[in-house]
Amino acid sequence: MYTPTPQDRFTFGLWTVGNRGRDPFGVETRPPVDPVDIVHMLAEIGAWGVNLHDNDLVPIDATPSERDAIVARFTKALDDTGVQFVMGTVNLFTDPVFKDGAFTSNVPEIRRYALRKTIEAIDLAAELGGKIFVLWGGREGAEVNAAKNPMDAVKRFREALNYLCEYVIDQGYEMKFALEAKPNEPRGDIYFSSTGAYLALIPTLEHPDMVGVNPEFAHETMAGLSFHHIVAQALEQGKLFHIDLNDQKIGRFDQDLRFGSENYKESFFLVKVLEDGGYDGPLHFDAHAYRTEDLEGVKEFAKGCMRSYLIFKEKVHRFNEDEEIQQLLKEIQAADEEPLTYDRVRPGQLVAPDFDRRAWGAKGYAYERLDQLLFDLMMGVR
Ligand code: GCO
Ligand code: MN
Ligand code: MN
């Protein structure tokens, strides 16, 4: 029942299951894993797809013929296993050239190089059959704000996105962009610090239809925000093009924990929003195994992400079917009326003569009971 199949649309990045456990204080605890072996492992555990940054597969210094050989070998692994390539992205953060930003760098030549590198990564994603391209501006930020103008950052980032959309149109690719926000790390502050900032930028682009968001559980949680609220907004606005599922303790460094490992309740409501809201895009786990784990532990980690999602999904189903919960919801949520428009209801008609402000203020909402029923359901005692 909790065994994933490709129909569940679960994906992992090469950099997630291939993460080697390095942190700022310690070296790698796991050996490198060949991307081809990762694809086979993902097929074995029932994942649907795989995602990558350009340099997860092709080294930054590879020659064109080296690149083609690597891509051919990887494509064969996809064909042999049936694992889909789903999302491509570009690494604009590891190489020292990007130490003060890529699209928002103060140096025009670096901004142009970042665009060229992104275009090559888009070509790679298109060649592999991907239709989603994620942009996470890891280095687009500052420590020394005296050196950078944050309004220029907005203008430069917009300019880069407009350029990339034109490129995709020019090539005839069927590719959409998903923007991923993060408040900080690796920069002291990163521009466009939450998904809401990107949702506000998108309507100012030349091709807003081609651009959506890729919210990440850990990143909004670092900032102390409710993840499922912003996911709901993105979904409602037709902008949830991709999602990075993981977990995180509030206020910490970016932990990228196994999905479902920390915030059970928030994860429940997230899965509820995705399932009830009809999200049908990929479910990507942008997480990695604890540094204590060997390769067997990495497999357990990946299986755990998917299993937890499916368990939450079943709990959502039970919540939606639970008679007592649904009865309670019926009592506290007034029946839907027709949309309130200025045309239909004039200001003088808004409030009925018998509206009883005091009675409404005194009425109990039964939320304590409802919330406890949810707790009981989640803990399996209901
Ligand atoms: C992080 C980020 C990255 C991005 C990835 C896609 O936690 O460091 O979320 O994992 O999602 O680089 O561009
Ligand atoms: Mn993260
Ligand atoms: Mn991410």
Taking the C-alpha atoms of residue 204 and residue 57, their distance in angstroms, rounded to an integer, is 34
Cβ(136) to ligand 1 under 6 A?
Answer: yes
How many Å is the Cα radius of gyration of the chain? 23
**Probe target for ligand 1 pocket from 50, 139, 180, with the most ligand atoms within 8 Å of CB:** 180
Q: Where residue 120 falls among pLDDT bands split at 50, 70, 90?
A: very high
SS3 label, residue 241: coil
Residue nearest to ligand 1 atom 2, measured at CA = 136
Taking the C-alpha atoms of residue 173 and residue 187, their distance in angstroms, rounded to an integer, is 32
Q: What percent of the chain has pLDDT over 90?
A: 97
The arithmetic mean of pLDDT across residues 227-243, rounded, is: 98
40 is catalytic: no
Q: What percent of the chain has pLDDT over 70?
A: 100
pTM of the model as a whole: 0.97
Cβ(220) to ligand 1 under 6 A?
Answer: no
Ligand 1 centroid to 136 CA: how many Å? 6
Number of H helices, E strands in the chain: 14, 10
SS3 label, residue 64: helix
177 pLDDT higher than 90: yes
Distance of CA 160 to the CA centre of its chain: 21
Taking the C-alpha atoms of residue 95 and residue 89, their distance in angstroms, rounded to an integer, is 15
Ligand 1 centroid to 47 CA: how many Å? 19
Show the domains of the chain with their CATH numbers.
6-320 (3.20.20.150), 322-378 (no CATH)
The answer to whether the CB of 22 falls within 8 A of the CB of 65 is no
213 pLDDT higher than 90: yes
- C-alpha distances out from residue 282 to 11, 47, 165, 199, 221, Å: 7, 11, 22, 20, 21
pLDDT averaged over every residue in the chain: 97
User: Catalytic one among 23, 34, 56, 288?
Assistant: 56
Q: Where residue 11 falls among pLDDT bands split at 50, 70, 90?
A: very high
> Any idea which of 178-192, 296-310, 330-344 has the lowest mean pLDDT?
330-344
Q: Higher-confidence residue: 336 or 268? A: 268
Q: What pLDDT does residue 334 have? A: 78
56 is catalytic: yes
Taking the C-alpha atoms of residue 282 and residue 86, their distance in angstroms, rounded to an integer, is 8
Cβ(54) to ligand 1 under 6 A?
Answer: no
- C-alpha distances out from residue 272 to 19, 196, 266, 311, Å: 29, 20, 10, 12
Q: What pLDDT does residue 312 have? A: 98
The answer to whether the CB of 98 falls within 8 A of the CB of 73 is no
Q: What pLDDT does residue 254 have? A: 96
The CB density around residue 59, as the number of other CB atoms within 10 Å, is 12
Taking the C-alpha atoms of residue 150 and residue 187, their distance in angstroms, rounded to an integer, is 14
> Any idea which of 271-285, 291-305, 330-344, 360-374 has the lowest mean pLDDT?
330-344
Q: What pLDDT does residue 332 have? A: 86
The CB density around residue 166, as the number of other CB atoms within 10 Å, is 13
Q: What pLDDT does residue 283 have? A: 99
- What is the per-residue pLDDT across 307-364, written as a single tens digit (0 to 9) for each? 999 999 999 999 999 999 999 999 988 777 788 999 999 999 999 999 999 999 999 9
Taking the C-alpha atoms of residue 253 and residue 342, their distance in angstroms, rounded to an integer, is 47
Cβ(286) to ligand 1 under 6 A?
Answer: yes
21 CB contacts (<8 Å, ≥6 apart)? 28, 29, 30, 288, 289, 290, 291, 293
Of ligand 1's listed atoms, the one at least distance from the Cα of 214 is 11
The arithmetic mean of pLDDT across residues 232-248, rounded, is: 98
Q: What pLDDT does residue 252 have? A: 94
Work out whether strand 84-89 and strand 189-190 pair parallel, antiparallel, or are unpaired: unpaired
Cβ(52) to ligand 1 under 6 A?
Answer: no
Q: Using alpha carbons only, give the angle 46, 48, 69 rounded to the nearest 5 degrees.
A: 110
241 CB contacts (<8 Å, ≥6 apart)? 132, 176, 177, 178, 212, 213, 214, 281
Taking the C-alpha atoms of residue 48 and residue 31, their distance in angstroms, rounded to an integer, is 25
The answer to whether the CB of 27 falls within 8 A of the CB of 39 is no
The arithmetic mean of pLDDT across residues 205-226, rounded, is: 98
User: Catalytic one among 8, 23, 40, 53?
Assistant: 53
Q: Where residue 186 falls among pLDDT bands split at 50, 70, 90?
A: very high
